[in-house]
Structure 1
Amino acid sequence: MNILMYSHDTYGLGHIRRSMALAQNILAEEHNILILTGSPIVGRFDFPHGIDFVRIPGMIKQNNDLYVPHSIKVAPEMALAIRQNIILATAKAFKPSLFLVDKAPLGLKREVVPTLRWLREHCPQTHVVLGLRDIMDSPESTITEWRKKNIYEALDTLYSEIWVYGSRDIYDPVREYDIPAHIAPKMHFTGYIPRQIPRFQHRPRLRHGMNIAPGEKLVLVTAGGGGDGYKVVDTYLTMLETLPHPPFKSMIVTGPMLAENLYDQLAARARKLKVRICKFYRKMEKAILAADCVVSMGGYNTMCEIVCAARPSLIIPRSVPREEQLIRARLFAARGLLEYIPWETVEPAPMLERIVKLLHEPGPYEAALADFPMTAFEIINQRIQSFGAQA
């Protein structure tokens, strides 16, 4: 089966990391998987045999509606035209049995619509699936945007199925986003997407390899892609700077999209504190498992990694330009899975207080996390197998 995946990747690492996790776990001997992506760092990931990517020109989101080219010095309209043509040409040549679109039903600025229409007309046997994370945004904002952009019509006419990478018991987009009754049956709740976390018994070896002494506590700070993570890292370093002798070891991963001048400022402060800092860490899953506490923003993928590793965490969710992270943090905190402080109000003293609590009382969080179901791969593979049975 030829599987084509579209990931517009205009901000952060979330889309490409989600697509990579899905591709690696639905890969079978009879599958060929191509990922269409605008991620500027896609080449840093390890691609197993059977998976490859088609790089489209990168775009950067400046706000919810404004996107500009990441590198090439051309008008946004030209960059979008190039992306649209590459997407359509790839679909025509590859002729996928499954076309999986990540998050954006129409693509960036409707760039995937010509491909969706071509597949409907020329390859009606292709299963066209929209993959949505658990939470898109607040109900009010999402409904307004979807009505304005005719998203409900697209869900009705252009997609065979909609996969929601979350649990309806935790957040129900059918109700929250006012999904019409004739579209709701298309929606399949897969559960959250697990990550390839090393087995827990390997944790001592991982910690030894990271020079963490027995009994020493490690706090891992990660800001996702880094584009909006400066405040989290800055607050954490300010917290450390108030402590004559921090009672724990620290590691900071800022994300590769943090501006160079801001990274240099943070790195200089970290070096004075003898704290390890880097922009990108290839084996993030191992670092999360090795940590005793994770301080992070509240993006979908990082949250899935933290849950899979069953690590106590302090989440600093942003609410701009979307409230998705804040909503998710509140829901997870209500289940005893984590602690959180809103991005807008985070300060060094409350941050230290929460971290100390998580380091000294990890048991309840670890127990709640260990019982959290991560079923996406099982459900998605069942759906794909059903496509083969229908063929």
Structure 2
Amino acid sequence: MAGRNFSLRVAMYSHDTFGLGHITRTLRLARATVEAIPNASVLLLTGSPIAHRLTFPQGVEYVKLPSVRKRGPETYVPRELGIPFWRLRQMRVRILRDALRLFRPHIFFVDNVPLGMKGEILPSLEDLKKHGTALHLNLRDILDEPGIVRSQWAEDGTHDVLNSLYDEVHVFGDRSIHDSAAEYGLPACKTLFHGYIAPPEPAARERVLPTRRRNGLPSVLITIGGGEDGAGILRCALEAERRLDAVRRLKFDLVLGPLMGVEEAEVIRTTARGRGGVSACEFVEDLADFMPEYDLVVSMGGYNTLCEVMTRAQRSLVIPRIHPRREQELRARALEARGILTLIHPGELTPERFGTALAESLERGPVLPSPRAPRLEGVGCFKRRLEEIAPSFRDPAPRRQKRPEQLVAGVDTRRRGLVRSVLGLGIVGFLACSAGFARADLRPKAVNAEMLVGYDTNVLDASDAEIMAFETHDPGSFFVVEHMKDAALQMSIDGRWALAAGSKTDARLRYTRLQYLRETIRSENHYSLQWRSRASTNTLIDFSLAFAPNVYARHRRDKDALPGDPVFRAEVRNEWDSALQIARALGPHWSSVSVMEGSIRDYRRPFDERDRWRGGGRTGFAWRPSGSAKLDLSGGYRQLRSRNVPYLGSDLSYKEWSVLSAFDCALLGDFLRARAYVNRDWTRYTSTDPGDESHFGRHDNEWEFGGSLQHALSPSIDWKAGVTHMRRYADSALALTADLDEEGSVHDTFVSTGIAWHWQP
């Protein structure tokens, strides 16, 4: 191991959504870690609501995650906090990510759930993997029925994660009881079977269970684990004890569990106090130490309890849980077949059946410890594996701190690229014009140029929430712009060329530059190519392709930033748009139009998970009642697919319906040409994850309307003025509008005026 002062850092994650099993098993492995590597530091990340009541050995610390309660398969609710589950999940994701980034473990052990609760650990797994942390998965012997597990893992991508991210899979079980590798499809080359985890050796402690002279009467210990769902077993035991008291007296000690409901626990305690042969307590930390004192241990057959029973108890009776998983029943049946315990199916549980099973177990039940028990060497094998791999770890070289000015280094690079683009376009234009005068066939059929000055009321297209954060200098946000409103110059030039003499097909090239005067970071370049062909006397086909490089949106928090790195980075994307339009004359005043369109938004790292693709179409008609007036109306549908990295909890995909309308006319004779338009969009996001607070159950309503005026100053020069206003209203089933950040409600107005020049030979 490198370095005299090297300390192995080990992190362990235990999601703890139900019962005590996960935290108990993880804590035993944490204790084994510091025993095998005495100078190791272990950080345990747990959602257990009773972590504060457990004893942690020296060298082991824990971070408490907000607790949840399991309501069913993959269904959870907050245990204590009165907030939506998606908010609590986000809290857990951020706590996990921040704690692991700062702790920087050499090894990270995940207990039983490869992706964490609802995928909450995946962001950290990818982060740690990039920086050299060894990722190990710890599994108990049985998870659930193999078909259910395989189906769930195929649906959520667990198998891919096991193969691509995890380095080793530790199964704390015995192949002869359950072959997890074969049943669940674990990667054989990474899977190690260690045996079951026996409890630690008994330690001197203050006694919790009662000490009394039993006068030769058989004694029974009944434990139901955490206590969330075993109260029925205790009520049945109390009724069985009452009936047996006249026939055969027994002594019962009940352990209710720290997670049992307060009212339920009080009812059971009250009943127990009225019975001379019954005692009840809430919680015993090391219950296995007391098991040898009892003639029979009754339990639900959880993993840790049966490991304790097989090691310390004299006899065992199991009444397993069968909902929401059958793990306990499958384990109990396998051990019953080996002659290790007696089983009562919960569907058969009655006071009479319970009393009979007690009597039979005490008289003829399998005696423990049993030579037929599976291997209980899990802790020893785990220690040996740690000792084998620990010498291979070392701390990475210290990271060089980046200078503050590097925060916007990418933006400076982008600006230089834009300058080169403009210069390149100028050179191409100059050469094209020169060639045009030398060869008439290269001269364009028409050239148009515009120079407009405008004013934008929302430079970043920021949401209402973002504008509020900007105005109040919210420390949780970061803006490189100093103004949300700015003046701008909009310059464009385009040319149209006939592709062949006498041809009905031509091409049009256009370049547009939007230059903000103060907030230059938001300036944009747009390039477009249009191909137009008249297929017949009444059919016109247009194909267009547009490209906008390096479009800056905002500075966004970088989820992958490490300590010392900039927390916020520039979000920059390339935009591609294409459209195929077919217009067909239907008569002297009517025509139809059909459009198919597609677009790509390609984001630069570290925000490339926001990449998206959109496709759709629209159809409509145009009515021209006279030569100076025209009405256009069309409707369309578009669907967007985002890259949708599952663990980010943000699905940008949506379906959108739209109606577009426009009216052109002449005013004051031909003194002014006017155009007005109104567009309406309805957007429905398709996210199916309630944890995606910004998009689950969300729908947007967007209005865009505006108009323009144009007056001919001369045969080749026009004056133009225009205004555009956009307003988007966002509504979410889960989140407040103010919580949607840049994806929330938005309003923006852009006004412009200037000169247009056009030329035709």
With the shorter chain as reference, the TM-score category is: over 0.9
Instruction: Say whether the 8 Å CA contact 2:244–2:355 is kept in structure 1.
Output: no
Q: Per-residue displacement from partner, 1:8-27 (whole Å, max 9, x unpaired)?
A: 11111111111111111221
Instruction: Say whether the 8 Å CA contact 1:218–1:250 is kept in structure 2.
Output: yes
CA separation in 1, counterparts of 2:324 and 2:339? 26
Matched, 1:114 2:103: no
- Matching of residues 191-340 of structure 1 within 5 Å: 191-198=195-202, 210-213=211-214, 215-245=216-246, 246-274=248-276, 275-340=278-343
Q: Per-residue displacement from partner, 1:59-118 (whole Å, max 9, x unpaired)?
A: 111111221111121111111111111111111111111100001100011110010000
1:161 to partner: Cα distance:
0.4
Instruction: Say whether the 8 Å CA contact 2:174–2:375 is kept in structure 1.
Output: no
Q: Per-residue displacement from partner, 1:4-58 (whole Å, max 9, x unpaired)?
A: 0000111111111111111112213211111101111111111121111101111
1:367 to partner: Cα distance:
4.8
CA separation in 1, counterparts of 2:337 and 2:372? 16
> Which one-letter code corresponds to 1:239 in the other structure?
A
Greater fraction strand: 2
Q: What is the DSSP-based 3-state SS (H/G/I as helix, E as strand, rest coil) of the residue aligned with 2:370?
A: helix
CA separation in 1, counterparts of 2:143 and 2:49? 23
> Which one-letter code corresponds to 1:279 in the other structure?
E
> Which one-letter code corresponds to 1:257 in the other structure?
L
Structure-2 change in CA distance of 1:339 and 1:388 (3 Å): same
**Aligned match of 1:366:** 368
CA separation in 1, counterparts of 2:303 and 2:143? 10
Give percent identity, aligned residues only. 33
- Matching of residues 152-163 of structure 1 within 5 Å: 152-163=159-170
Q: What is the DSSP-based 3-state SS (H/G/I as helix, E as strand, rest coil) of the residue aligned with 1:129?
A: strand
Matched, 1:354 2:357: yes
Structure-2 change in CA distance of 1:350 and 1:369 (3 Å): farther
Moved more, 218-227 or 243-252: 243-252
CA separation in 2, counterparts of 1:326 and 1:100? 27
CA separation in 2, counterparts of 1:104 and 1:308? 26
1:358 to partner: Cα distance:
2.3
CA separation in 1, counterparts of 2:314 and 2:208? 14
Instruction: Say whether the 8 Å CA contact 1:310–1:370 is kept in structure 2.
Output: no
Unaligned runs of at least 5 residues, structure 2: 1-7, 394-761
1:210 to partner: Cα distance:
1.8
Query: Structure 1: which 4+ aligned runs deviate by more than 4 Å?
Result: 206-209, 369-372
Q: Per-residue displacement from partner, 1:273-298 (whole Å, max 9, x unpaired)?
A: 13111221233122222211011101
User: What's the TM-score, normalizing by structure 1?
Assistant: 0.93
> Which one-letter code corresponds to 1:92 in the other structure?
R
**Aligned match of 2:100:** 91
**Aligned match of 2:20:** 13
**Aligned match of 1:34:** 43
> Which one-letter code corresponds to 1:313 in the other structure?
S
CA separation in 2, counterparts of 1:212 and 1:5? 43
Instruction: Say whether the 8 Å CA contact 2:208–2:284 is kept in structure 1.
Output: no
Matched, 1:73 2:82: yes
1:361 to partner: Cα distance:
3.4
User: What's the TM-score, normalizing by structure 2?
Assistant: 0.48
Q: What is the DSSP-based 3-state SS (H/G/I as helix, E as strand, rest coil) of the residue aligned with 1:368?
A: coil
Larger radius of gyration: 2
Matched, 1:128 2:129: no
Instruction: Say whether the 8 Å CA contact 2:256–2:281 is kept in structure 1.
Output: yes
Instruction: Say whether the 8 Å CA contact 1:226–1:257 is kept in structure 2.
Output: yes
CA separation in 2, counterparts of 1:288 and 1:106? 35
Structure-2 change in CA distance of 1:315 and 1:197 (3 Å): farther
**Aligned match of 1:390:** 392
Q: Per-residue displacement from partner, 1:148-193 (whole Å, max 9, x unpaired)?
A: 11110110111000000100111101222234xxx21101001000
1:208 to partner: Cα distance:
11
1:222 to partner: Cα distance:
0.4
CA separation in 2, counterparts of 1:270 and 1:207? 16
Instruction: Say whether the 8 Å CA contact 1:3–1:31 is kept in structure 2.
Output: yes
Instruction: Say whether the 8 Å CA contact 1:219–1:292 is kept in structure 2.
Output: yes
Comparing both chains, which one has the higher relative contact order based on Cα–Cα distances under 8 Å and sequence gaps of 6 or more? 1
Unaligned runs of at least 5 residues, structure 1: none
Instruction: Say whether the 8 Å CA contact 2:9–2:105 is kept in structure 1.
Output: yes
CA separation in 1, counterparts of 2:301 and 2:169? 23
1:142 to partner: Cα distance:
0.9
> Which one-letter code corresponds to 1:220 in the other structure?
L
1:237 to partner: Cα distance:
0.8
Matched, 1:140 2:143: no
CA separation in 2, counterparts of 1:339 and 1:244? 22
1:311 to partner: Cα distance:
2.6
CA separation in 2, counterparts of 1:3 and 1:103? 17
> Which one-letter code corresponds to 1:384 in the other structure?
L
Instruction: Say whether the 8 Å CA contact 1:3–1:96 is kept in structure 2.
Output: yes
> Which one-letter code corresponds to 1:77 in the other structure?
W
CA separation in 2, counterparts of 1:252 and 1:343? 18
CA separation in 2, counterparts of 1:115 and 1:96? 11
> Which one-letter code corresponds to 2:95 in the other structure?
I
CA separation in 2, counterparts of 1:303 and 1:117? 35
Structure-2 change in CA distance of 1:154 and 1:208 (3 Å): closer
1:144 to partner: Cα distance:
1.1
**Aligned match of 2:191:** 187
CA separation in 2, counterparts of 1:380 and 1:263? 38
Moved more, 146-155 or 282-291: 282-291
Greater fraction helix: 1
CA separation in 2, counterparts of 1:151 and 1:281? 36
Q: What is the DSSP-based 3-state SS (H/G/I as helix, E as strand, rest coil) of the residue aligned with 1:233?
A: helix
Instruction: Say whether the 8 Å CA contact 2:196–2:374 is kept in structure 1.
Output: no
> Which one-letter code corresponds to 1:95 in the other structure?
R
2:53 counterpart (19, 34, 44): 44
**Aligned match of 1:168:** 175
CA separation in 1, counterparts of 2:215 and 2:391? 53
Structure-2 change in CA distance of 1:185 and 1:176 (3 Å): same
1:350 to partner: Cα distance:
2.1
1:344 to partner: Cα distance:
2.1
Q: What is the DSSP-based 3-state SS (H/G/I as helix, E as strand, rest coil) of the residue aligned with 1:234?
A: helix
CA separation in 2, counterparts of 1:11 and 1:87? 19
Q: What is the DSSP-based 3-state SS (H/G/I as helix, E as strand, rest coil) of the residue aligned with 1:242?
A: helix
Instruction: Say whether the 8 Å CA contact 1:310–1:369 is kept in structure 2.
Output: no
